[in-house]
């Protein structure tokens, strides 16, 4: 924006950046064209009130200081720290003004540029995160929130821009409608404010009153806010609750004694992604009062029996969608609205009435995925078993009881963390961080508005104290709840440095000092590259291909898209892939193109499948079916990016469905020809899972994918209620044909979805569901049976894994063969070789392989398994036969 004397006083935008006490950055494009920065009179203004007028002549009733334009530009260290500001002008403060920075950041702060005549040319407020970090560097070591010593709490809040901070306390027994006790908090040089309480404060409710200038609203406010480091809260998070996690009363016996399985190597991780409410809300074997709660896993139920079967077969981790306090779900059970289930069951399978009923409940349905953070350190209250349990300390013990139950079932517990955004910002009632330190915790655009590329207010974890919150929260959940890992939502919006800081803090936790070995905690996340941070615009991102050597993995969309076909962003969801009938079983929609185009795409998908089976390694070499030459994973193209991006196989997680987008069963429903028999659909469900499970990377399954879970074709069920997120561990109903999915994300495809939902052939029977589950269990048993599926290093994968049929006349379309040669440097005592052959076509194939297959036989798991068809697979001297839609594993005994 260019200013004139007529409109300058507004100061609506914040284009400048105060980076350290002596340096301000200003965008050159904000000046009128042709103006030379060196010829201008630059001034810094700060005022305790909002009355700065850049057009005013001195003397003025606020502080001012002349700034010196530095033609050398910003110092190299600041350019390295803020690369997106590399072309900004550098303005230098005089020493006296720089020494006032700590006071100035509590004020309205602005810069103006004038011609020598005094005419105003440019003005705007400043973004202050850089200088605040410099002033508060030592706060990174502060213990924030409530800390306890001999039963007495000390509360500490970081609020470096606050004028004053008070603690508002409601003692135990006091009504929240009563006036609180008011305690003055004492400031420190690091920007923190603290008060030490009394032993009787345990269980008390509290808030902070923070008096602070908010630049966006340009006024001083007295915000009453909860503690961002709250360990627990009252119902619907109106007040923080003083809870000591070390209180013996909060230690369930099973949680204290149960030991989770330990991974020998990260590639051993096999994950079941589960929403806690889905897990039990429809499970009649769980007592009614415990359904959908933390305590549901603590009882013997159909759901726990299902998880134990999976664990016995080789599953070792349950990944739980967000369980920190979220801003959406109604926590008071009597205020929730449940749709009329019995009425909905009577409606036609393609009716829009079901989704209308679910949508009518809004945020009061009791359901949400929970990707809308409010308090990062406190368990979400809606999962508490009772209203009383949601009111304070009990939600802590109930969460621990859940962790203990999963551990006792042989499952590690991974928490889904969402540090990339908050539910709200500014002065919104559910904004905490921004009402304590306005303009600091959120990433701002070129004029000071909050970035929202994540569809919510983005958190600037590149800022020191935002990173600290992220690190402290992860340490908190490990130390006080003994969780075993973290899945990071939209991890690419964090920096590699952020993730290394979390990793270092976890690695420092020891059994002796903390009760846990932090080195055993796994970390992985979504390494997508988009938004204002894309292509390392602001920092080196934690994206695919940039985490080599960290031990932090990312989800691979390469294998996912190749197996399913198309992209999750496709307007028409019927594009077919390797596992959904491309070329061999055209669905008749015309969306896949002619036979030549399908053949070319299938060859490329086959390359991506091979790459995925080999750990998505950039260095692995194999014959390319699409290029007809040997390529490395890095040379293979994936939408203009290298398809292979991992340095080690543990750095990419293989999966074919997740909570996002359609379930695997629903994808098959959309992509297969409607006349495809249900038996074939069950087999392809297994084939798709096999391609994710029987490779060299860690594996994730979406909960219910082994039992043909459907969300009635809903592509985004985050707020679709229990109705569309139905999960039935009795294996009676997979949830398909529950009505047209919610209009907000699916209406554009209703014309495609409706005839499928109305087709009775597409609803699986209980026998179909049980068959899918049995075949999925065999996949887990196959993976667990041998380390040849889990070699664990890129060197071993390069030395032992090959694709003997690729890039030759031998390769049959819709077939992939992976060989693992273990004759030298053996990792398996029983078998000297392994051969995986996946036939996704609707016919038996005889695949010739240019290798000696003498001694190979069908794997014992499949010889004695539940799938009768796979027993017909046979290995000859240089060929194998594999039945239709089958993944067969052959082994060669030593």
Q: What whole-number distance in Å separates Cα of residue 884 and Cα of residue 891?
A: 20
**DSSP character at residue 452:** -
Question: By the 8 A CB rule, do 600 and 592 touch?
Answer: no
- Enter the tokens of residue 72: 């050398």
- For the chain, the C-alpha Rg in angstroms (whole number) is 30
Query: What number of other Cβ atoms are within 10 A of residue 167's Cβ?
Result: 22
- Enter the tokens of residue 561: 């898209």
Q: Known catalytic residue: 526?
A: yes
E-strand stretches of 532-654: 553-555, 621-624, 629-632, 637-638, 641-642, 652-653
- Enter the tokens of residue 699: 């594996």
**DSSP character at residue 812:** P
Question: By the 8 A CB rule, do 857 and 831 touch?
Answer: no
Question: By the 8 A CB rule, do 514 and 479 touch?
Answer: yes
Give the neighbor-by-neighbor strand order of the sheet with 145-149. 145-149, 152-158, 192-196, 186-187
Question: By the 8 A CB rule, do 775 and 680 touch?
Answer: no
Query: Which has the closest alpha carbon to 752: 595, 602, 590?
Result: 590
| Those residues with Cβ within 8 angstroms of residue 786's Cβ, 6 or more apart along the chain or in another chain | 828, 830, 831, 834, 891
Identified catalytic residue from 526, 607, 651, 722: 526
Q: How is 636-691 classified by DSSP, letter by letter?
A: SEETTEES--BSSGGGEEB-S--SSS--HHHHHHHHS-TTS-HHHHHHHHHHHHHH
| Those residues with Cβ within 8 angstroms of residue 228's Cβ, 6 or more apart along the chain or in another chain | 144, 145, 375, 376, 377, 432, 433, 436, 469
Q: Buried (b) or exposed (e) across 577-592, using 16+ Cβ within 10 A? A: bbbbbbbbbbbeeebb
Q: What whole-number distance in Å separates Cα of residue 467 and Cα of residue 132?
A: 14
**DSSP character at residue 709:** -
Q: What whole-number distance in Å separates Cα of residue 731 and Cα of residue 402?
A: 23
Question: By the 8 A CB rule, do 20 and 78 touch?
Answer: yes
Question: By the 8 A CB rule, do 609 and 816 touch?
Answer: yes
Query: Which has the closest alpha carbon to 153: 25, 214, 221, 241?
Result: 241
Query: Which has the closest alpha carbon to 389: 256, 289, 254?
Result: 289
Taking CA atoms, 30 is separated from 20, 79, 149, 447, in Å, by 21, 19, 53, 10
Question: By the 8 A CB rule, do 187 and 82 touch?
Answer: no
Helix, coil or strand: residue 872: helix
Q: What whole-number distance in Å separates Cα of residue 792 and Cα of residue 725?
A: 35
Judging by DSSP bridges, how do beta strands 232-233 and 186-187 pair with one another?
unpaired
Q: What whole-number distance in Å separates Cα of residue 393 and Cα of residue 80?
A: 44
- Enter the tokens of residue 563: 């197996």
Question: By the 8 A CB rule, do 712 and 757 touch?
Answer: yes
Q: What whole-number distance in Å separates Cα of residue 257 and Cα of residue 23?
A: 55
- Enter the tokens of residue 417: 């963390």
Question: By the 8 A CB rule, do 259 and 406 touch?
Answer: no
* Residue 803 β-bridge partners: none
Identified catalytic residue from 273, 372, 489, 778: 489
| Those residues with Cβ within 8 angstroms of residue 34's Cβ, 6 or more apart along the chain or in another chain | none
Q: Which residues are catalytic?
A: 489, 526
């Amino acid at each position: 924006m260019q200013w004139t004397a007529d409109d300058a006083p507004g100061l609506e935008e914040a284009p400048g950046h105060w980076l350290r006490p002596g340096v301000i950055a200003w965008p050159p494009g904000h000046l009128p064209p042709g103006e030379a920065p060196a010829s201008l009179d630059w001034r810094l203004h700060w005022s305790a009130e909002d009355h700065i007028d850049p057009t005013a002549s001195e003397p003025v009733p606020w502080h001012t200081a002349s700034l010196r334009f530095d033609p050398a530009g910003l110092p190299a260290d600041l350019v390295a720290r803020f690369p997106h500001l590399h072309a900004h002008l550098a303005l230098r403060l005089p020493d006296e003004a720089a020494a006032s920075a700590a006071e100035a950041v509590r004020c309205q702060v602005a810069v103006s540029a004038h011609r020598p005549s005094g005419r105003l040319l440019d003005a705007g407020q400043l973004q202050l995160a850089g200088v605040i970090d410099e002033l508060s560097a030592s706060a990174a070591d502060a213990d924030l929130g409530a800390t306890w010593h001999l039963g007495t709490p000390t509360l500490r809040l970081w609020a470096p821009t606050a004028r004053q901070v008070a603690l508002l306390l409601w003692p135990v027994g006091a009504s929240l409608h009563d006036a609180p006790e008011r305690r003055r908090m004492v400031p420190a040089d690091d920007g923190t404010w603290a008060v030490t309480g009394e032993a009787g404060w345990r269980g008390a409710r509290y808030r902070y009153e923070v008096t602070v200038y908010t630049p966006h609203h340009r006024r001083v406010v007295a915000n009453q806010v909860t503690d961002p480091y709250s360990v627990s809260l009252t119902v619907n998070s109106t007040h923080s609750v003083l809870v000591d996690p070390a209180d013996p009363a909060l230690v369930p016996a099973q949680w204290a004694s149960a030991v989770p399985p330990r991974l020998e190597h990260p590639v051993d991780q096999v994950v079941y992604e589960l929403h806690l409410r889905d897990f039990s809300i429809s499970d009649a074997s769980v007592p009614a009062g415990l359904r959908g709660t933390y305590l549901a896993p603590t009882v013997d139920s159909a759901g726990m029996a299902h998880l134990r079967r999976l664990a016995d077969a080789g599953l070792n981790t349950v990944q739980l969608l967000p369980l920190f306090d979220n801003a959406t779900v109604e926590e008071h059970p009597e205020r929730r609205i449940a749709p009329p289930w019995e009425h909905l069951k009577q409606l036609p399978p393609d009716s829009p009435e079901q989704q209308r009923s679910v949508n009518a409940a809004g945020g009061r349905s009791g359901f949400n995925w929970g990707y809308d953070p409010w308090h990062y350190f406190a368990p979400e209250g809606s999962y508490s078993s009772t209203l009383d349990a949601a009111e304070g300390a009990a939600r802590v013990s109930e969460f621990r009881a859940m962790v203990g139950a999963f551990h006792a079932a042989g499952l590690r517990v991974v928490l889904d963390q969402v540090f990339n955004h908050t539910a709200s910002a500014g002065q919104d009632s559910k904004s905490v961080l921004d009402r304590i330190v306005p303009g600091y915790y959120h990433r701002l655009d070129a004029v000071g508005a909050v970035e929202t590329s994540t569809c919510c207010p983005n958190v600037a974890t590149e800022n020191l104290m935002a990173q600290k919150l992220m690190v402290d929260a992860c340490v908190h959940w490990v130390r006080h709840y003994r969780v075993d890992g973290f899945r990071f939502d939209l991890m690419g919006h964090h920096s590699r440095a952020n993730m290394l800081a979390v990793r270092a803090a976890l690695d420092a936790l020891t059994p002796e000092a903390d009760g846990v070995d932090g080195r055993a905690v796994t970390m992985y996340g979504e390494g997508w590259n988009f938004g204002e941070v894309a292509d390392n615009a602001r920092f080196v991102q934690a994206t695919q291909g940039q985490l080599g050597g960290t031990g932090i993995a990312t989800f691979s969309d390469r294998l996912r898209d190749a197996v399913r076909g198309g992209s999750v962003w496709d307007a028409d969801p019927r594009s077919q892939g390797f596992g959904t009938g491309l070329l061999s079983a055209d669905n008749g929609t015309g969306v896949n193109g002619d036979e030549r185009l399908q053949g070319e795409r299938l060859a490329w998908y086959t390359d991506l499948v091979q790459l995925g089976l080999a750990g998505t390694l950039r260095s692995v070499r194999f014959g390319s079916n699409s290029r007809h030459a040997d390529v490395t994973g890095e040379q293979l193209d994936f939408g203009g990016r290298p398809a292979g991006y991992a340095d080690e196989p543990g750095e990419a997680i293989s999966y074919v469905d997740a909570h996002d987008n359609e379930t695997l069963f629903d994808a098959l429903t959309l992509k297969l020809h409607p006349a495809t028999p249900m038996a074939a659909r069950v087999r392809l469900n297994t084939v798709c899972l096999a391609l994710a499970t029987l490779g060299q990377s860690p594996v994730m399954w979406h909960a219910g994918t082994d039992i043909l879970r459907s969300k009635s074709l809903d592509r985004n069920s985050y707020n679709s209620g229990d109705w569309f997120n139905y999960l039935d561990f009795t294996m009676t109903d997979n949830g398909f044909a529950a009505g047209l999915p919610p209009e907000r994300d699916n209406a554009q495809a209703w014309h495609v979805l409706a005839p499928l939902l109305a087709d009775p052939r597409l609803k699986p029977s209980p026998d179909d569901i049980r068959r899918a589950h049995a075949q999925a269990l065999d996949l887990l048993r196959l993976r667990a049976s041998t380390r040849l599926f889990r070699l664990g290093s890129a060197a071993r994968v390069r030395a032992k894994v090959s694709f003997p049929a690729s890039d030759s006349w031998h390769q049959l379309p819709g077939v992939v063969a992976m060989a693992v040669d273990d004759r030298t440097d053996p990792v398996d005592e029983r078998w000297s070789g392994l051969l995986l052959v996946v036939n996704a076509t609707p016919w038996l194939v005889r695949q010739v392989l240019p290798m000696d297959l003498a001694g190979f036989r069908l794997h014992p798991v499949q010889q004695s398994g539940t799938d009768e068809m796979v027993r017909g697979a046979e290995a000859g001297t240089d060929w194998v036969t594999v039945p239709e839609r089958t993944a067969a594993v052959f082994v060669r005994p030593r």
